[in-house]
Amino acid sequence: MKYKKKKGTGERIVKAKPSGYEEKRVRRLGKIRILIGFLLIAVIAVGAWLAWEQIMIPYQPEEKSESSQTSSQQEEVLPIYGDDFNLKLATPDHPLEEKPQITEFQGVQMDERIIPALEALLQAAEQNKTPLKLVSGYVSPEEQDQKFNAEVERLMKEKKYSRVMAEQTAAASVSRGGQDESQTGLSVWVGLEDGSDFASSAQYRWLARHSVDYGFVFRYPEGKKSYTGREFDPCCIRYVGQRAALQMRQLQMCLEEYVAYTDR
């Protein structure tokens, strides 16, 4: 330790040498600065190389994944029809005028134009291990009238209703010929192989999530009786086309609501 006398005063200034700890700290800081400098240089070099690569190497689009290719192929296979076909109604307020093109598929009658979409839906459900069984489909106007008249006769016999009252009561549960969804050929009723409750099944949950991908919706969804005139029926699915099905889900509309919406 050195002492130096301050000019003009009797005081002495003390100059001390750095301790060993301080010297080590200074050297460590110097090494850190050098390391940071090298890292910055490396980052700049990598960035420059990537920029050069983007400029010099032509862009090559990524190949589509297998799942996206499958989805694209599915869209090409599914039929595309106009709303005059997809949104056809058969109700007391909208009696059916056009006769459907009926054929049989898996033992159930339906309009032949919905078979490609229905077959794709059934195959997807099978692959998901939630297989669906077709139960029923198209009913002719003549058969529907027979159902209606049978209900009228039952009410007259069991309830002692007059014919007028019996017909009014029967119309609330059984439609006349040409006024029922089953005459369109666009709806099918599905179920389970063991006949258990469909609404609580994995199949119903799968349909609720995926049916719109194939152009199908629930014809009589929950909470829509004031529009459809029918109680909730989890087994009845109706073809409306992919575009309408997706919009109906987004808007949370049943078929009657959506038809009125598109007619505005």
Distance CA 68, CA 72 (A): 6
Supply the DSSP symbol for 100: P
pLDDT tens for each residue of 17-74: 555 556 666 677 667 777 777 777 776 766 665 554 443 433 333 333 333 343 444 5
Provide the whole-model pTM. Answer: 0.70
pLDDT at 62: 35
pLDDT recorded at residue 264: 82
Residue 188's SS3 state is strand
pLDDT tens track for 225-262: 999 988 999 999 999 999 999 999 999 999 999 999 99
pLDDT for 173 equals: 84
Q: What is the dihedral sign for C-alpha 90, 92, 97, 102?
A: positive
Check residue 133 and give its pLDDT.
96
